[in-house]
Amino acid sequence: MLKRIQDLETEIDAIVINNGAEAESFRLAYLSKKGKVSLLFDEFKSLPSEEKRTVGQVLNLLKRKAEEKWSAAQESNDSNQESDYDASLLQQIPQGSLHPLKVVEDELVSIFSKLGFDLAEGPEIEDDHHNFGALNFADDHPARDMQDTFFIAEHVLRTHTSSVQVREMERGQPPFRLVMPGRVYRNEAVSARSNCFFHQIEGLYVDEGVSFTDLKQTLYYFVQQFFGEGTQIRFRSSYFPFTEPSAEMDIWAGLDTEENRRLTKGTGWLEVLGCGMVHPNVLESCGLDSKKFSGFAFGMGIDRLTMLKYGISDIRDFFSGDVRMLQQFGGL
Ligand code: DAH
């Protein structure tokens, strides 16, 4: 029997295992239950006990040797597979990146979230009530005109994110402290400065005792965060059906460059947003007691802010699908 063990050892020594399939056949041929090594163990059981000691030792050595050969083959097979993996190839696959409008939207949401504003969103296909009626637009208000609004049968594509204010206020009772970003649509001639769809972010704070001072302070904080410490602001009185009083807010861009003179039409002031105190009619339309609650709202164009921030001069570039444009914002 010792001789047969030796022969088997020579046989195993001679075997070269090249790949996973060969390792598996090796295991089957020698180490499995019906394998040659295991069969020797079966025979070993019926040896007289005086032989068992010596043969047992040799046979165990053979078994260990065969197992080591098999596991070494397995390991080198694993590491071969690893070496087929070329990490540098990954770098050649173009990486996507966030769209610049999304980058700015995220920044705006995060600035207001520091003041306790939560995120809310609403549908782009709206009804007249949420887009106009509940926002105190008179039935004959020109904004309902076909020229501004895209109609889909009985519905409209929302013309502003103010519709989300209504949806949120209808859901319950104050306090509401929300920012509501999203896409809006207007039936306007497309040019470098205006597109038939663009993006807004709406803000709303309704509670007991909310004042115009709260509005100013909130917007002042936003401007310092977004445009930089020390940026000056001014409010001009304005009109929106859903706020009273209403205002537009400008930031001081200065007159020191040709670009700033052009952007500000020679005034140095740049209009950034519309705002005001939520009109009592709007609160009542949403089922809130306008004697008990007051609030402020504001809305601004994300596309415009993004163009200002990155010096983009044509709004259509955002959706031209030209990857060279997007590559500048982190993609390859
Ligand atoms: N909805 C207005 C627009 O699209 C922007 C706006 C102005 C929103 C004043 C407001 C606001 O919430 O208070 O032009």
Structure confidence by residue, pLDDT tens digits, 81-105: 656 777 777 777 777 788 999 999 9
Q: What is the whole-number distance in angstroms between the Cα of residue 273 and the centre of ligand 1?
A: 8
Which residue has the CA at smallest separation from atom 8 of ligand 1?
299
Name the phi and psi angles at 18, rounded to 5. -100, -25
Percent of the chain with pLDDT over 70: 97
- Asked if residue 58 lies in contact with residue 2, where contact means CB atoms within 8 angstroms, the answer is yes
Q: What is the pLDDT of residue 83?
A: 67
For ligand 1, whether the C-beta of 248 sits within 6 Å is no
Which pLDDT score, from 0 to 100, does residue 172 have? Answer: 93
Ligand 1 atom closest to Cα of 278?
13
Determine which residue's CA is closest to atom 4 belonging to ligand 1.
160
Q: Smallest Cα–Cα separation from 108: which of 298, 237, 285? A: 298
Of 144, 205, 236, 242, the residue with max ligand 1 atoms within 8 A of its CB, to mutate for a pocket test, comes to: 242
Task: Give the chain's residues under pLDDT 50.
Answer: 332
Fold for domain 100-327?
A: BirA Bifunctional Protein; domain 2 (3.30.930)
Nearest CA to ligand 1 atom 7: 274
Give the Cα separation of 172 and 220 in Å (integer).
Answer: 29
Instruction: Quote the pLDDT of residue 142.
Output: 84
162 C-beta closer than 6 A to ligand 1: yes
The DSSP-derived string for 260-289 is: HHHHTTTSSEEEEEEEEEEPHHHHHHTT--
Find out whether 17 and 26 touch, Cβ atoms under 8 Å. Answer: yes
pTM: 0.74
Can you give 191-224 as a three-state secondary structure string?
CCCCCCEEEEEEEEEEECCCCHHHHHHHHHHHHH
Compute the distance from residue 220 Cα to the ligand 1 centre, in Å: 17
The three-class DSSP label of residue 16 is coil
Among residues 211, 213, 218, which one has the least CA distance to residue 114?
218
Residue 160 Cβ < 6 Å to ligand 1? yes
Tell me how far the alpha carbon of residue 248 lies from the centroid of ligand 1, in angstroms: 9
Supply the pLDDT for residue 79.
Answer: 63
